[in-house]
């Protein structure tokens, strides 16, 4: 990345927040950014896994903050801590999320389970984006970037995934609206839709995943590091350029052509 673009700070002076940084995609993206010289604030519900992520890149600047993104007070405290310590925020990777109870038919899904998924995936994403937006709008130099973690489910659902799919479709609306409103303040907002990255959350896909025709078949997965590199590319663009939507998926997974 060149440091010569207007509005672009050197990577070594850039600060990012990664939510859900204690595992999976969040951990991989945080480690990729840390290796590239970013300061990365690792946010998540459990301190232990966050510290394990930080230890992946010894010597890097990777403070940890325990935060439940569905709790407005936790989110406010997270971004206040970032502002107080670093003075600015260049990137939010809005990643924290949950599948919720997998494989539950619509008629059997409890309201509590629905609410948990919505609170985490949608309300949490909004709260973090709002807090980041406020700081990016007011800081000097003004601006920054927000990357929302969508899903292939933002385009096409899996069977029995109504809560997860609904929130990921909503994430697309959140991304578009934030991108529009952020133009005046140099805030670039994009979304990465990911399919079958190899993480603990997707472990079962390799042994068998329910298909639209009722069959259960193994599905290909891809290395989560390939996702992390894509997020880093999006993050390190100058603010005059934006990847609005990117879809990164295992090449042979069921998606295009519905199979």
Give the CA distances from residue 118 to residues 70, 74, 100, 105, 113, in Å, rounded to whole numbers and listed in that order: 9, 17, 9, 17, 9
Q: Name the catalytic one among 111, 164, 185, 255.
A: 164
Please say whether the beta carbons of 232 and 192 come within 8 A. Answer: no
The encoded tokens of residue 181 equal 């409103």
3-state secondary structure of 231: helix
| 111 flagged as catalytic | no
Q: How many angstroms separate the CA atoms of 21 and 46, rounded? A: 10
Q: What angle do CA 22, 54, 67 make, to 5 degrees?
A: 45
Please say whether the beta carbons of 174 and 150 come within 8 A. Answer: no
In the block, residue with structure tokens 């697309």: 172
Instruction: Give the residue ranges of DSSP H helices in 110-205.
Output: 111-117, 124-138, 162-182
Q: How many angstroms separate the CA atoms of 37 and 41, rounded? A: 13
Closest residue by Cα to residue 128 from 147, 112, 100: 147
Q: Kindly report the length of the chain.
A: 259
| Positions marked catalytic | 164
């Amino acid at each position: 990345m060149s440091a010569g673009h207007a509005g672009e700070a050197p990577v070594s002076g850039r600060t990012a927040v990664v939510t859900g940084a204690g595992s999976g995609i969040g951990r991989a993206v945080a480690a990729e950014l840390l290796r590239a010289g970013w300061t990365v604030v690792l946010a998540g519900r459990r301190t232990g896994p966050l510290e394990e992520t930080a230890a992946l890149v010894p010597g890097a600047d990777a403070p940890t903050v325990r935060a439940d993104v569905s709790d407005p007070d936790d989110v406010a405290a997270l971004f206040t801590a970032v502002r107080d310590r670093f003075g600015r925020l260049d990137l939010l990777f809005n990643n924290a999320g949950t599948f919720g109870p997998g494989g539950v038919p619509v008629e059997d899904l409890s309201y509590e389970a629905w609410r948990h998924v919505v609170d985490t995936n949608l309300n949490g994403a909004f709260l973090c984006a709002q807090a980041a937006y406020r700081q990016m709008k007011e800081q000097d130099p003004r601006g920054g970037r927000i990357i929302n973690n969508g899903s292939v489910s933002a385009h096409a659902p899996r069977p029995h995934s109504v809560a997860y799919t609904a929130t990921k479709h909503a994430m697309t609306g959140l991304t578009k609206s934030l991108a529009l409103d952020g133009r005046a303040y140099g805030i670039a907002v994009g979304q990465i839709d990911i399919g079958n990255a190899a993480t603990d959350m997707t472990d079962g896909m390799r042994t068998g995943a329910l298909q639209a025709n009722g069959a259960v078949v193994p599905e290909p997965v891809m290395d989560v590091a390939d996702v992390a590199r894509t997020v880093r590319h999006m993050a390190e663009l100058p603010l005059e350029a934006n990847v609005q939507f990117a879809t990164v998926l295992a090449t042979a997974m069921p998606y295009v052509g519905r199979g």
